[in-house]
């Protein structure tokens, strides 16, 4: 299922993830298809063809992968001293520029975005929260000087952004004219006037340049992150808000306490009014459906209130309705999909609960002797690919530096954890996703499973076979679907490349792992007792479950999903219907379910843990792993088998019997006895050691002969970007024909969109697509009538160049002067 997993700088899985598809959730950003036989990405057009794998063994290129924490200010020195081979946290701009080019490779990627979240909750009687007023929130958009942030604070290594979509993203083309017409350029004078009007109407008074309500000054609690340039961004915004009449109480906090303050508190407790958010990206996305939902639509649990029971909730019915339609593929064609996206963008800007600031062009340093890096166009070396193929000659290990390896918010459980970027960057090496987005095109494609799609969409339906099944939470059993059940699409998934191998602890992966994870996800959402406990997971999953019409196990390797979902890019249909990425053995999931729902001694999510005062389960911590171990021992002693889960309609024998279940419990117990943790995956590395106090994690290569990939299978390389190499634009003469000539270089089919604006007012005057004259040559031609209708002395031309091979837009802005023709 394509649940919204934001592998960002806050623990989001408990908010917006679903249960049984943790690895598939990474499809938010996930890739051209991996060939069915070898797993190699098909049809990759890379610049670097010189990769030579260090061996032909299965698994990754190196034997040992070490993750260590390095302070961002000392990281350049530690790199030059050889203490690490690559650094996964964004270097500060000044430090990146000082690194010696002979020793260090720098990879740039727009892998981080920053935003400002405003608390829109109403204050108690007798008080006023300014951000409960939409007019004030919208005014903040124009108080923020994005150009200064990008140009000065980030020294040109950032791009201003107005919405959740970065100007580098492919979907920026969808809203290109819209964002240029938004009128949200920095204009503090107008912003202060709008704030004054809204505050006065709400009953506030401005006295001595400070806003008062009920004779008390209004004080805004501002949580400002300290690890990076967000400290300076926060200071800039604080100054702007002070100039608008607000007293600010700043609180400078690192990751864990900031997250705890903002994302786990009831908005009406007013522990915060605004916060400098940061978001990491794991892969490019060709057509976004998840980000805009997560960042704007309340139904996904990532807006204030977080869908937590008992909290005040930010609500917006239209955003939820449109967001669900976009998420569920409820549109007739791309044009209809784009209209949904534009309307959601419009509403997001109107509401302005999130104020987007900039996309950071992260600098990731890698030692010059490291080879095998794949440059994901969104995540850079931090994407799925690099650590599976990277190595340095003469060594069988790599050391990866990060700002943290462990924080107080780092939680390792496969249902409601793995949400912060520091944990996710390690977890990604332990798991093979079912599908992933290509690092260049951003399209979802097969990774470790194969699929066939049949669809009658967008207008028709298919009959669902009567032996297809669904989980009946009330009867606690798999039952066949009713007669005359229909679905828009059918996807057949072949798990052979999973099932040919084993989990890291040695137990073969099987259809039982798929079926248990299906049951788990559905039952948490639809079983009333479980939904009362893990409420956030339950409520955010239901819109997805509404579209699932049934599953059908075909044989020991294949399963079908019937779903009411359609997309004009058919691989998105396959990504939507994935039953499971079998990232965790079913026995471990069953033990966790027992601990959380029967014994009530742990929780999957942070808010449930806080509500019931139990641990937020983390399988790397000895305390929590021992809780699970006790459950496993009890299940072994009682010879417990969740029989109803494995009894499928029309099958004489269950998928699991007591003997195989007991063997599975023993395998888990043996793993814990050897490793001291219960993190078990299916990918190229296994977790050998995790030491929170030492900020250290050690991964070992998984070399099972039947593991399906070698390093050579997974190397993709470096992309060829679209470049605007030449622009020929003379002064514009009113009433004359006018042509701007452009030269582009890049892969695939190239195109250019443009917007012409009045440089003074920001008003959009003309927009369109440049005409292609020849390969790489384009022209923007304005007629004499069009130029005669223009009324400005100075124009701003904004170009957005793109290729159908890349999920990346190249933007360029230039000024054009008008020649009024005197003399």
CA distances from 376 to 62, 111, 400, 421, 754 (A): 20, 9, 17, 16, 26
Q: Which residues contact 613 (CB under 8 A, 6 or more apart)?
A: none
**Cα–Cα distance between 247 and 237 in angstroms, integer?**
12
Q: Of 170, 619, 659, 219, whose CA–CA distance to 438 is shortest?
A: 170
Structure tokens at 215: 């004779």
**Cα–Cα distance between 552 and 555 in angstroms, integer?**
9
Pairing status of strand 370-371 against strand 205-207:
unpaired
Contact 601, 607 (CB under 8 A): no
Classify residue 598 by its DSSP letter.
I
Numbers of helices and strands, H then E, in the chain: 27, 35
- What integer pLDDT is reported at residue 10 of this predicted model? 34
Contact 132, 120 (CB under 8 A): yes
N-terminal to C-terminal alpha carbon distance within the chain: 68
Model pTM greater than 0.85? yes
Query: What b/e sequence results for 188-214 when a residue is b if at least 16 CB atoms lie within 10 Å of its CB, and e otherwise?
Result: eeebbebbbebbeebebeeeeeebbbe
The residue ranges of every structural domain in the chain are 13-110+363-437, 723-819
Contact 115, 356 (CB under 8 A): yes
Contact 750, 173 (CB under 8 A): no
Pairing status of strand 210-213 against strand 205-207:
antiparallel
- What integer pLDDT is reported at residue 18 of this predicted model? 35
Classify residue 595 by its DSSP letter.
I
Contact 283, 137 (CB under 8 A): no
Contact 354, 116 (CB under 8 A): yes
C-alpha Rg value of the chain to the nearest Å: 27
Q: Of 801, 784, 802, 778, whose CA–CA distance to 728 is shortest?
A: 778
Contact 635, 643 (CB under 8 A): no
**Cα–Cα distance between 662 and 633 in angstroms, integer?**
10
Q: Of 158, 157, 149, 156, whose CA–CA distance to 186 is shortest?
A: 149
Which runs of consecutive H residues, i.e. helices, occur in 638-698?
643-646, 658-675
In the block, residue with structure tokens 């070399």: 703
β partners of residue 751: 802
Q: Of 256, 324, 306, 262, whose CA–CA distance to 15 is shortest?
A: 306
Contact 54, 391 (CB under 8 A): yes
- What integer pLDDT is reported at residue 820 of this predicted model? 67
Structure tokens at 459: 């207008």
Region for residue 134 given its phi and psi (left: phi exceeds 0; alpha: psi -120 to 50; beta: otherwise) = alpha
- What integer pLDDT is reported at residue 22 of this predicted model? 33
**Cα–Cα distance between 170 and 291 in angstroms, integer?**
13
For the beta carbon of residue 817, count every other beta carbon within 10 angstroms: 14
Classify residue 597 by its DSSP letter.
I
Q: Where are the beta strands (DSSP E) in 93-246?
A: 104-118, 158-160, 205-207, 210-213, 216-217, 219-225
β partners of residue 609: none
- The pLDDT tens digits of the residues spanning 466-480 come to 999 999 999 999 999
Contact 609, 616 (CB under 8 A): yes
Fold assignment, 723-819: Immunoglobulin-like (2.60.40)
User: ω into residue 464 within 30 of 0, thus cis?
Assistant: no
- What integer pLDDT is reported at residue 37 of this predicted model? 29
What residue ranges of the chain have pLDDT lower than 50?
A: 1-48, 823
């Amino acid at each position: 299922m394509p649940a919204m997993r934001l592998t960002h700088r806050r623990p989001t899985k408990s908010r917006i993830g679903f249960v049984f598809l943790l690895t598939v959730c990474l499809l938010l950003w996930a890739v051209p298809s991996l060939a069915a036989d070898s797993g190699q990405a098909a049809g990759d057009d890379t610049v670097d063809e010189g990769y030579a794998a260090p061996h032909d063994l299965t698994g990754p290129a190196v034997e040992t992968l070490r993750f260590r924490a390095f302070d961002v200010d000392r990281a350049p020195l530690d790199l030059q001293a050889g203490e690490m081979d690559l650094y996964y946290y964004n270097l500060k701009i000044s430090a990146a520029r000082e690194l010696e080019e002979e020793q260090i490779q720098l990879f740039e990627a727009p892998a981080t975005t920053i935003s400002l979240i405003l608390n829109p909750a109403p204050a108690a009687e007798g008080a006023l929260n300014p951000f409960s007023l939409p007019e004030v929130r919208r005014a903040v958009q124009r108080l923020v000087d994005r150009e200064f942030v990008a140009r000065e604070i980030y020294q040109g290594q950032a791009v201003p952004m107005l919405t959740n979509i970065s100007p580098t993203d492919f979907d920026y083309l969808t809203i290109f004219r819209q964002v240029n017409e938004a009128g949200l350029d920095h204009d503090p004078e107008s912003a202060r006037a709008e704030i004054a009007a809204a505050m006065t109407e709400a009953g506030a008074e401005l006295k001595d340049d400070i806003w008062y309500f009920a004779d008390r000054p209004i004080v805004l609690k501002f949580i400002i992150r300290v690890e990076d340039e967000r400290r300076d961004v926060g200071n800039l915004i604080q100054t702007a808000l002070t100039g608008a009449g607000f007293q600010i109480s700043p609180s400078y906090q690192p990751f864990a306490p900031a997250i705890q303050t903002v994302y786990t508190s009831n908005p009406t407790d007013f522990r915060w009014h605004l916060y400098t958010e940061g978001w990491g990206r794991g892969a490019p996305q060709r057509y976004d459906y998840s980000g805009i939902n997560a960042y704007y639509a309340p139904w996904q649990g990532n807006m204030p209130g977080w869908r937590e029971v008992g909290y005040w909730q930010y609500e917006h019915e239209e955003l939820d309705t449109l967001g669900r339609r976009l998420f569920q593929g409820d549109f007739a064609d791309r044009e209809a999909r784009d209209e949904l996206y534009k309307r959601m963008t419009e509403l997001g800007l109107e509401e302005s609960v999130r104020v987007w600031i900039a996309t950071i062009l992260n600098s990731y340093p890698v030692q010059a002797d490291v080879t095998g890096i794949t440059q994901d166009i969104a995540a850079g070396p931090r994407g799925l690919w690099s650590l599976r193929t990277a190595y340095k000659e003469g060594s069988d290990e790599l050391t990866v530096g990060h700002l943290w390896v462990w924080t107080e918010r780092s939680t390792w459980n496969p249902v409601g954890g793995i949400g912060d970027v520091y944990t996710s960057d390690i977890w990604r090496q332990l798991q093979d996703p079912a599908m992933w987005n290509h690092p260049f095109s951003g399209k979802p494609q097969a990774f470790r499973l194969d699929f066939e799609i049949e669809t009658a969409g967008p207008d028709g339906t298919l009959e669902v076979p009567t032996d297809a099944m669904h989980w009946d939470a009330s009867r606690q059993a798999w039952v066949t679907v009713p007669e005359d059940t229909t679905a828009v699409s059918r996807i057949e998934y072949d798990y052979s490349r999973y099932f040919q191998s084993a989990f890291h602890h040695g137990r073969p992966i099987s259809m039982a792992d798929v079926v248990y994870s299906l049951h788990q996800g559905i039952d948490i959402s639809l079983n009333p007792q479980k939904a009362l406990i893990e409420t956030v997971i339950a409520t955010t999953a239901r819109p997805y479950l509404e579209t699932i019409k049934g599953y059908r196990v075909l044989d020991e390797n294949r399963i079908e999903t019937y779903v009411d979902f359609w997309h004009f890019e058919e691989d998105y249909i396959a990504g939507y219907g994935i039953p499971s990425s079998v990232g965790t053995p079913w026995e471990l999931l069953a033990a966790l379910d027992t601990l959380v729902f029967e014994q009530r001694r742990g929780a999957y999510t942070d808010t449930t843990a806080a509500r019931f005062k139990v641990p937020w389960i983390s399988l790397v911590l000895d305390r929590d792993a021992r809780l699970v171990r006790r459950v496993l021992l009890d299940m072994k002693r009682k010879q417990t088998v969740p029989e109803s889960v494995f009894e499928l309609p029309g099958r004489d024998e269950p998928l699991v019997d007591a003997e195989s279940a007991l063997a599975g419990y023993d395998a888990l117990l043996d793993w814990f006895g050897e490793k001291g943790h219960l993190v078990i995956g299916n990918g190229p590395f296994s977790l050998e050691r995790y030491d929170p106090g030492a900020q250290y994690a050690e991964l070992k290569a998984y070399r099972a002969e039947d593991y399906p990939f070698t390093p050579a299978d997974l190397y993709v390389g470096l992309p060829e970007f679209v470049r605007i190499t030449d622009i020929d634009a003379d002064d514009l003469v009113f009433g004359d024909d006018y042509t701007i000539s452009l030269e582009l270089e890049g892969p695939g089919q190239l195109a250019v969109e443009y917007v012409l604006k009045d440089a003074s007012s920001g008003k959009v005057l003309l927009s369109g697509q440049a005409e292609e004259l020849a390969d790489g040559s384009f022209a923007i031609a304005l007629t004499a009538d069009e130029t005669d209708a223009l009324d400005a002395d100075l124009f701003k031309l904004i170009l957005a160049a793109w290729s159908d091979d890349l999920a990346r837009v190249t933007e360029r802005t230039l000024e054009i002067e008008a020649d009024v023709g005197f003399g």
